[in-house]
Chain A
Amino acid sequence: MPDEVLDCRGQRCPLPVIAVARRMPELPVGTVVRVLADDPAAAVDIPAWCRMRGQEFLGTVTGPDGPAYDVRRHH
């Protein structure tokens, strides 16, 4: 289960990625954030951001709130 949910529904890219990038440093290492984002670009850009920033992309979950992306703060 995620420790925190970031609701970025209705936001267009790059806003969901910016939201994760802002929130991550405020959280302890190891925290899992679930990003709710319905912009189709988020499916590409959140994993790509994790790779570029050395954060851990845990996967995509599609639930009742639409697509969500789980990211763990790695450093």
Chain B
Amino acid sequence: MSASPVYLDAATAAPLHPVARQALLAALDDGWADPGKLYTQARRARQLLDAARAAAAETLGVRPDELSFTPSGTAAAHAAVLGGLAGRRRVGRRLVHSAIEHSAVLHAAERHVADGGEATSVPVDRLGGLDVDVWAAAVRAPGVALAALIAASHEVGTLQPVSEAAAACADAGVPLYVDAAQAVGRVPVPGGWSVLSASAHKWGGPAGVGLLVVRKGTRWESPYPADERESGRTPGALNLPAVVAAAASLRAVAADAAAEAARLSPLVDLIRSRVAAEVPDVEVVGDPERRLPHLVTFSCLYVDGEALLHALDRRGFAVSSGSSCTSSTLRPSHVLEAMGVLSHGNVRISLHRETSAADVERFLAELPGIVAALRAEAGVVGL
């Protein structure tokens, strides 16, 4: 029996938005020259870059000169953390971050610590929400150079209390960096931050484009060798056609974001309730209300996460997992670990503009049988 493919991993990479495809193709013809040069072709490229920057800045509500394009969301996160720390090294060398940051932020933190800096990890509750009291105490400690908070968890979808965290940072005089990779183009991002990053392939732009926003007046210093492109914030020649496509699609998805959220959020509610009701011994994780509109995560007791991913793939479903057996390090997701929820048999579903109610219905119809078959195979039925 053949199964038509249903892609449910938009939080890794959303399918290319038609506006992105159109802009990309046009810019391949028009935007190949180096925007820094002084001839006609370069001026055309410069116009495209300026227009892309203006559009992205307008969508995010920031000034164009505050926004730089980077080679990925990861590169933007590294620059945000290391640049934010470097800019305030005279104040201190401590980074405060949540326990559920993306690995890009945690790896930058590890680099900082290896270089003699310090880091404080702030816990989350069982639903994956930041402990704001611990956060407020942590940012008030002496010598804090920067605080980093993910806007919404990429693994469980829980929206973080960005406004409260930003208020605590403002009281303490500590700049806040927000990794908004899963939020931009989906939900409004609260203000109060000094540095923000995002990633185009999460909203339907091409992979290999990130955004780094450094608000005016923020003490931020490039962690890279000198390079004057992108206001000196990120080195190297940009992939201009991809940047143009990223900015065009960002504008398009932001315009549709409220309507898409209203369409997808009930589908996530449906997945949450039906998985809990129809798959025995399952733990649906993350905050049921304060959450992204398109993302849901659950763990199936006694089921091997890798086996579950393969079984779903055989039935045409592409999903992601935080289980240790699916990671290259063979460690469980640090997010699930920080929340204290079951990490094996874990599945993350993330929806996008091409996801239909029928896709979700087919997934929900097939999942209980797939899980039951794996449990029967492993001899764990009735445990």
Contact = CB atoms under 8 A, between A and B. Distances in A.
Interface of A: 12-14, 17-18, 21-22, 39-41, 43-45, 47-49, 51-52
B330 A45 contact: no
B343 interface: yes
A41 B331 CA distance: 6
A49 B300 CA distance: 11
Interface string B326-347: 0000111000110011111100
Most A C-beta atoms less than 10 A away, residue of B303, B342, B378: B342
Interface of B: 281, 283, 301-304, 323-325, 330-332, 336-337, 340-345, 378, 380, 383
A51 B345 CA distance: 16
Contact of A14 (B283, B302, B336, B341): B302
B323 A41 contact: yes
Contact of A21 (B331, B337, B343, B383): B383
B123 to A, nearest CB: 14
Contacts of B341: 44, 48
B344 A41 contact: yes
B340 A48 contact: yes
Given A18-B380, A52-B301, 7 more contacts: A14-B301, A21-B302, A21-B383, A44-B341, A45-B342, A48-B283, A52-B283
Nearest to A51: B340
B378 A18 contact: yes
Contacts of B380: 18, 21
28 contacts: A12-B324, A13-B325, A13-B343, A13-B344, A14-B301, A14-B303, A14-B345, A17-B301, A18-B380, A21-B383, A40-B331, A40-B332, A41-B331, A44-B332, A44-B337, A44-B340, A44-B342, A44-B343, A45-B332, A45-B342, A45-B343, A47-B340, A48-B340, A48-B341, A48-B342, A49-B301, A51-B340, A52-B342
A13 B378 CA distance: 12
Nearest to B334: A44
Contacts of B331: 40-41
Contacts of A21: 302, 380, 383
**Interface of B: prevailing SS:** loop
A48 B343 contact: yes
Contacts of A44: 332, 336-337, 340-343
Contacts of A49: 301, 342
For the complex of A and B, the 5 pairs showing the least CB-CB separation, nearest first, are A14-B344, A48-B342, A41-B332, A21-B383, A41-B324
Contacts of B383: 18, 21-22
B300 to A, nearest CB: 9
A45 B281 CA distance: 13
Most B C-beta atoms less than 10 A away, residue of A14, A17, A40, A52: A14
Contacts of B336: 44
A40 B302 CA distance: 16
A20 to B, nearest CB: 10
A54 to B, nearest CB: 13
Contacts of A13: 304, 323-325, 332, 343-344
B197 to A, nearest CB: 28
A17 B340 CA distance: 15
B344 A17 contact: yes
A43 B340 contact: no
A14 B342 CA distance: 10
